[in-house]
Amino acid sequence: MAYHLSVFLVNEPGKLEGITRVLCERGLNIRAVSMASAGEMGVVRVLVNDPDAGLAALKEARFTATKRRILVALIEDRPGALHELLVTLSRARVNVEDCYGFVMEEGKRAAIVFEVEKFPEAETALAGTSVTLVADAEIYRL
């Protein structure tokens, strides 16, 4: 199973920098990041090369952090590719709880990181489609 970290924080100057400092000081590589805020509070999702070490470092630094299971799908970098992935999951009655992505090769492929409530069903639904699920060991090297 692969994981990313969810870090909850007060939305104020220096908090995001604090997360990256802790991870940097431990020699952890941030592979992807997303942030959402809701007024005074925010949540940062961080995909690092070693989520167990990242979680330990953040907790030691007194951040409120959790480790969340993820799937990473490679899709074509073209209009409609993400929609097609989501249609497939929707038809399989799989709810996407969190999602962010990044282009790996412009015009070729993008990586979509997502949390779902039903992992086996998501994997089954995507099998046989143009979507490639990234092996857990490969996720941390994207």
DSSP code per residue over the chain: -EEEEEEEEE-STTHHHHHHHHHHHTTPPEEEEEEEEETTEEEEEEEES-HHHHHHHHHHTT-EEEEEEEEEEEEESSTTHHHHHHHHHHHTTPPEEEEEEEEEETTTEEEEEEEES-HHHHHHHHTTSS-EEPPHHHHTT-
112-131 average pLDDT score:
94
How confident is the model at residue 23, as a pLDDT? 98
At 79-103, the pLDDT tens digits run 999 999 999 999 999 999 999 999 9
CATH number, domain of 29, equals: 3.30.2130.10
**Residue 42 and residue 57 in one domain:** yes
**Residue 20 and residue 51 in one domain:** yes
122-126 average pLDDT score:
95
24-40 average pLDDT score:
94
Question: Over the chain, what is the mean pLDDT?
Answer: 94
How confident is the model at residue 142, as a pLDDT? 77
44-61 average pLDDT score:
97
With a CB cutoff of 8 Å and minimum separation 6, the contacts of 137 are: none
**Residue 6 and residue 48 in one domain:** yes
CATH number, domain of 103, equals: 3.30.70.260
To the nearest whole percent, how much of the chain has pLDDT over 70?
100
How confident is the model at residue 83, as a pLDDT? 96
Both tokens of 14, joined, read 């220096």
pTM for the full predicted model: 0.88
92 close to 121: Cβ distance less than 8 angstroms: yes
Cα distance between residue 103 and residue 110, in whole Å: 4
Both tokens of 133, joined, read 């699920």
Q: CA 110 → CA 7, 61, 74, 103, 134, distances in Å?
A: 24, 33, 6, 4, 12
Cα distance between residue 47 and residue 23, in whole Å: 11
Whole domain around residue 113: which residue ranges? Answer: 70-139
